[in-house]
Amino acid sequence: MVLMAIGLAAITYGFTTNPHRMWANLLVDNFYFMAISLCGTFFVAANYLAQAGWSAVIKRVPEAMGQFLPFAGVFMIIIFFAGGHDLYHWTHKELYNPASPEYDKIIEGKSGWLNMPFYSFRLFLYFSVWVLLTFMLRRESMQEDLDGGLKHYNRSMVLSAIFIVFFAVSSSTSAWDFLMSVDTHWFSTLFGWYTFAGLFVTGLTAIALIIIYLKNNNYLQQVNENHLHDMAKYMFAFSVFWAYLWFDQFMLIWYANFPEEVAYFYARWNDGYKILFIGNFLINFICPFLILMTRDAKRKMRVLQVAGTIILFGHWIDVFLMVMPGTMGKDWGIGIIEIGTFLGFAGLFIWVVLRALSKAPLVAQKHPFLQESYHHHI
Amino acid sequence: MEVIMSNKTILGIYSDDELLVKGARQLRDKGVKIKNVFSPFPIHGIDALLGIPRTRLAICSFIYGVAGCSLAILMMWYMMIYDWPSDVGGKPNFALYMNLPSFIPITFECTVLCAAHLMVLTFLLRSKLLPGVTAPIPDVRCTDDRFVIQVSATEANQNDIISILKQTGASEIK
């Protein structure tokens, strides 16, 4: 609540002093927490589809994270319709008028995808399907606590399959829409995957940190170090995966050196982002790689907390770097607005997740794989 | 005269891995030393039962990886920067750090190559599994459908051991 108040104060302060910077910040933080929350539902769905047993005991945590999605959806719609002109260059009408001095042939070529009606349709479609499937999965899970049996499990499998197929497409297209269209001229075919990798590792880290928080407060005692070990393996593996995609995207563009592609990295290298740009890679790849390498490190809560905090911080910088050069250019900064907005969103996210966790038993009571999960041993 | 304790080895042959784990647990609780277990597939948790320490192969693999990584960078620095610098794609090779991105794929490959191959070799050497070596298995059926437990016994406790093996369902005792 305190965090939310700080956030609200920072947002008011931001809008009165520098609305342009405020909108960019709202996009960064909203996308960041939307990604964490979306990863919650993705994690639940992926585990259903794989018929995973070990994760049954921690299932309520990603499920609760998904409950933030409607908030993220509302914010994203507000950001687009109220702040769109500040963030998305392509929303300006004069770009498409050949008579205007602002006429832009490249952007006109993209107008088949980036136009107001289609974009609005996609915006509503993403969030309605994501939120609907998240809620349906949650309801099946709640009903399962009462009824037991395999009926709800099988239904959840079907819902998960629908979600995964939709997510496979929408995770890429939504990354183009929300983030890549900020740099309207630029394009990268890897961008969707790259964003997804960041989304996944941030979400996994958030799941691990929430579990550790609950364990430290004497909840969720059924989770043992074997479950944590698996979460840590996920964090380690997907940090490496993220680094792989980051480097893929960077190296191909750096090597080919086409002006229209290199412009993206040129802005990040020369407009004062150099430290963040290099730091982004070091924090998100080297740190988790070295910290989480050994088996013992993966099984200790303290180490996981340190590594998790580093990863969460690093991926906020990653999203920051995707948005800021395209919106703020050289006039960026990290100050009251940035920190305050982040704290505000973090407060809202934590409040929503903890409320969702407290509404239901912390362990899915009649999940068919629950016994297997209790005896998870690696 | 001093009595020489004659050590002998008892083999318990099971037809099920669950039974073998049960037998091994009871033997361990009695303080009997289990020499080895032979099984057609890995049995979950058996290494903890036998008191085998955790493998140190991971440490080797890290060292090999670092060595491979350094070797690759040294090699490319010598070839591309020191010995024969050339201008590829408008990127003249003046210094290693400036061209590092194009060297990363090879560095990665070389790291994996060294770590993987040297790790396999280390494993083979440590477990004495070189080509041409006869496998030291006590009963050939343990490569098919039987699970064999090898216990070292003394005159004093061999009857105990045999009775435990019988009770837990060993189909054959040698």
Judged against a pLDDT cut of 90, whether residue B163 lies above it is answered with no
My answer on whether B106 and B141 are in the same domain is no
- B2, with CB counted inside 10 A (0-12, 13-18, 19+), is exposed
Q: Alpha carbon of A148 to those of A51, A144, B4: distances in Å?
A: 17, 5, 64
3-state helix, strand, coil in chain A (%, to 5): 80, 0, 20
CA distance linking residue A356 with residue B151, whole number of Å? 55
Residue B29, pLDDT > 90, answer no
Residue B2 lies in a domain: no
Does B64 fall in a domain?
yes
At B5, the pLDDT band (50, 70, 90 cuts) reads low
Q: Which position has the token pair 């190296």?
A: A251
Nearest to A39 by CA among A338, A312, A378: A312
B101 near A CB under 8 A: yes
User: What is the pTM for the complete model shown?
Assistant: 0.88
Counted domains in chain A: 1
**pLDDT by residue (tens digit) across A117-128?**
899 999 999 999
Task: Determine whether the interchain pair B89/A377 forms a contact, defined as Cβ–Cβ distance below 8 Å.
Answer: no
Nearest Cβ partner of B101 from A251, A293, A295?
A251
Q: Nearest-CA distance from B133 to chain A in Å? A: 32
Higher-pLDDT residue of A86, A211: A211
Q: Residue A144 and residue A129: Cα distance in Å, rounded?
A: 22
pLDDT number for residue B6: 57
The CA distance from B6 to the nearest CA of chain A, in Å, is 39
Domain region containing B33: 8-54+137-173
- Chain A residues in contact with B89 by the CB 8 A cut-off are 255, 257
Same-domain pairing of B35 and B63: no
pLDDT of residue B1 exceeding 70, the answer is no
List Cβ neighbours of A300 (8 Å cut-off, separation of 6 or more).
A225
What residues in B contact A291, CB-CB < 8 Å? none
pLDDT average, residue stretch B7-17 = 82
Within-domain flag for B50: yes
User: Does the residue B24 lie in any domain?
Assistant: yes
| pLDDT at residue B2 in the model | 46
- Do B119 and B62 belong to one domain? yes
Q: Which residues of A touch B45 (CB under 8 A)?
A: 377
Q: What is the rounded CA–CA span in Å between residue B92 and residue B81? A: 9
pLDDT at A175: 92
Domain count, chain B: 2
Question: Does residue B18 form part of some domain?
Answer: yes
CA–CA distances in Å: residue B73 to residues A21, A254, A285:
43, 20, 19
Spatial neighbors of A269 by CB under 8 A, at least 6 apart, are: A277
Q: What is the Cα Rg of chain A in Å?
A: 21
B169 pLDDT exceeds 90?
no
Task: Say how far apart CA A354 and CA A359 lie, in whole Å.
Answer: 9
Using the beta-carbon criterion (under 8 Å), do A254 and B101 form an inter-chain contact? Answer: yes
Binary contact (A254, B89; C-beta < 8 A): no
- Same domain? For B24 and B79 the reply is no
Residue B27 lies in a domain: yes
Q: Using DSSP bridges, classify how beta strands B147-153 and B34-38 pair: parallel, antiparallel or unpaired.
A: antiparallel
Chain A partners of B105 at a C-beta cutoff of 8 Å? 251
Question: Which chain A residues are Cβ-neighbours of B104 within 8 angstroms?
Answer: 247, 251
**Closest partner CB to A257 (pick from B58, B90, B105):** B90
> Is residue B158 a part of any domain in this protein?
yes
Beta-carbon separation of B101 and A294 below 8 A: no
Instruction: Kindly give the interhelix angle for A19-49 and A151-178, rounded to the nearest 10 degrees.
Output: 150
Mean predicted confidence (pLDDT) in A208-235: 90
- Verify whether the Cβ–Cβ distance B101 to A293 is below 8 Å: no
B62 and B36 share one domain = no
Q: HSE-up of A165 (CA within 13 Å, CB side)?
A: 5
CB distance B95 to B81 below 8 Å: yes
A241, A244, A247, best to mutate vs chain B, most B CBs in 10 Å: A247
- Kindly indicate the confidence band of residue B8, based on its pLDDT and cuts at 50, 70 and 90: confident
Q: What is the pLDDT of residues A138-179, one digit of tens each?
A: 999 988 888 888 888 999 999 999 999 999 999 999 999 999
Mean per-residue pLDDT, B108-129: 92
Asked if residue B91 belongs to a domain, the reply is yes
Report yes or no: B51 at the A interface, CB cutoff 8 Å. Answer: no
* Cβ–Cβ gap B89/A257 under 8 Å: yes
Indicate the residue of A251, A255, A377 with minimum beta-carbon distance to B89: A255
Is ipTM beyond 0.90?
no
Q: Report the mean per-residue pLDDT for chain A.
A: 89
Tokens at A278, concatenated: 């290099």
At B70-102, the pLDDT tens digits run 999 999 999 988 888 888 877 877 788 888 888
Q: Which domain holds residue A238?
A: 2-374
Highest mean pLDDT among A158-167, A262-271, B30-39: A158-167
